[in-house]
Amino acid sequence: MAILLVQAGLSNFSGSFIRAHEELIDSDKVILRGPSHNLMHNGRQIKLFYSAKPLLFKLKKLLPQFIYHKYVAQQREGFEGRHDAIEGLVKKFKVKLIFAEFGHNGAALAPHAKKLGIPLIVHFHGHDAHRTDFIKPKLEAYKAMFAYATKIVSVSHFMTDALLELGAPKEKIVYNPYGPRPFFYDNQPNYGNTIFYVGRFTDIKSPILILDAFRRLVKTCPEAKLVMVGTGELLENCKALVKAWEFEDKITFTGGVPHDELMPYFQNACMFVQHSVQPSYGDAEGTPNTILEASASGLPVVSTKHAGIPQAVIHEKTGFLVDEYDSKGMSEYMLKLFNDKDLCREMGEAGRNHIKTNYNIDRHIGVLNQIIKEAKL
């Protein structure tokens, strides 16, 4: 018996929490990736390889090409065609439950799960619960999903409130924040002169405000360095700013780095910075995994009072938090830590203990295993 694990498309540089689900959930898993209208299994479009009626499926392929494309191909792209492929895959692998990563995938799959009569668990992660322009066209599908789903997983209290506002039943919501992989706890930072950021270069992460805070810091601490890991639509703008400021010797952009190659960056840092904000279109984080990983690695965190971050970072104990868009305040806290490496070490160790106690990956996976087991009974 297996579960159908439906994930968004992943690159080598993102989705560490989703990869953890793929690797650690204790069930046989059939993994689908890609957009819901074109789901892929092992790199193949399921609509081209699976059917609930395999004999009829093979006979259709014998039709003349113009008839096949005029009638069969069009039908395959509609709901019934997609359902036929999903039902065929479910039967082949004896799937007993659908576990959908991201709310929009859950909303797209809810009618199929209902028609098949199998349980559906939906794991929300961030924009799928908060970004208004993204959610609004899907709101009716979300409501149908909430009505059918067995459980809905939230990763922060801020997200739980958003899901309740969208209409999710309180009794179905499971609060279950992520946790970092165990090897992060073994990191020993050198607490030198390097400040570290890893994440997407996108509106919600506001990397330009990190650069602004760093520029203020360098006026007092010219020996400071900033390393920024990641890719995204704002990367070139950030590079242009650094060039205009003539800071190219102080700020390094690495581009994307595979998750399993990040440890040297955590080791060579004195603190981790992230300036998450809620843009005008309503997007928001869940609980950023990079912040959990940084704290587990023994680094103090300077970030914002945004989404699940105030639970992950205890202000003045494991790091410092500022209001969104307060780059001046962020710079002042960065300066405080940069000039006191003993404080970096003290807060870093407090952060490591906080994450180990409250954001344990084994606990996170254990909760998922339990709700999957209960749903399959």
Check: CB of residue 124 under 8 Å from CB of residue 284.
no
Task: Sort 58 into a burial class: Cβ within 10 Å, 0-12 / 13-18 / 19+.
Answer: exposed
Q: How far apart are the first and last CA of the chain?
A: 12
Residue 14 is predicted with a pLDDT of 45
The DSSP bridge partners found for residue 151 are 121
Residue 215 is predicted with a pLDDT of 97
H helices of the chain, in order, are 16-24, 46-49, 54-60, 65-67, 73-77, 79-93, 103-116, 127-130, 132-135, 139-148, 157-166, 207-220, 235-245, 263-267, 289-296, 309-312, 327-338, 341-358, 361-376
Report pLDDT digits (tens) over 114-147. Answer: 999 999 999 999 889 999 889 999 999 999 999 9
Residue 66 has pLDDT above 60, yes or no: no
Residue 72 is predicted with a pLDDT of 56
Check: CB of residue 173 under 8 Å from CB of residue 160.
yes
Check: CB of residue 308 under 8 Å from CB of residue 232.
no
CA distance 329 to 327: 5
Residue 69 is predicted with a pLDDT of 57
Domains 2-178+360-376 and 182-358 share a fold: yes
What value does the mean pLDDT take over residues 242-250? Answer: 96
CATH 3.40.50.2000 fits 182-358, yes or no: yes
- pLDDT band per the 50, 70, 90 thresholds, residue 268: very high
Mean pLDDT of the chain: 91
List Cβ neighbours of 20 (8 Å cut-off, separation of 6 or more): 178, 181, 361, 364, 365
Report pLDDT digits (tens) over 153-197. Answer: 999 999 999 999 999 999 999 999 999 989 999 999 999 999 999
Rg of the chain (C-alpha set): 23
Residue 90 has pLDDT above 90, yes or no: yes
Token pair 């789901």: residue: 39
**DSSP secondary-structure letter at 71?**
I
Report pLDDT digits (tens) over 320-336. Answer: 999 999 999 999 999 99
- pLDDT band per the 50, 70, 90 thresholds, residue 102: very high
- pLDDT band per the 50, 70, 90 thresholds, residue 76: low
CA distance 187 to 256: 21
Going from N- to C-terminal start, the domains of the chain cover 2-178+360-376, 182-358
CA distance 311 to 323: 15
Residue 283 CA to its chain's centroid (Å): 13
Residue 16 is predicted with a pLDDT of 74
Reading the block at residue 204, the tokens are: 């919600």
Residue 324 is predicted with a pLDDT of 98
Say what the pTM is: 0.84
Residue 13 is predicted with a pLDDT of 37
Residue 1 is predicted with a pLDDT of 61
Residue 217 CA to its chain's centroid (Å): 30
List Cβ neighbours of 223 (8 Å cut-off, separation of 6 or more): 193
Report pLDDT digits (tens) over 40-64. Answer: 999 898 888 888 776 655 556 555 5
Check: CB of residue 179 under 8 Å from CB of residue 241.
no
SS3 319: strand
The domain 2-178+360-376 belongs to what CATH superfamily?
Glycogen Phosphorylase B; (3.40.50.2000)
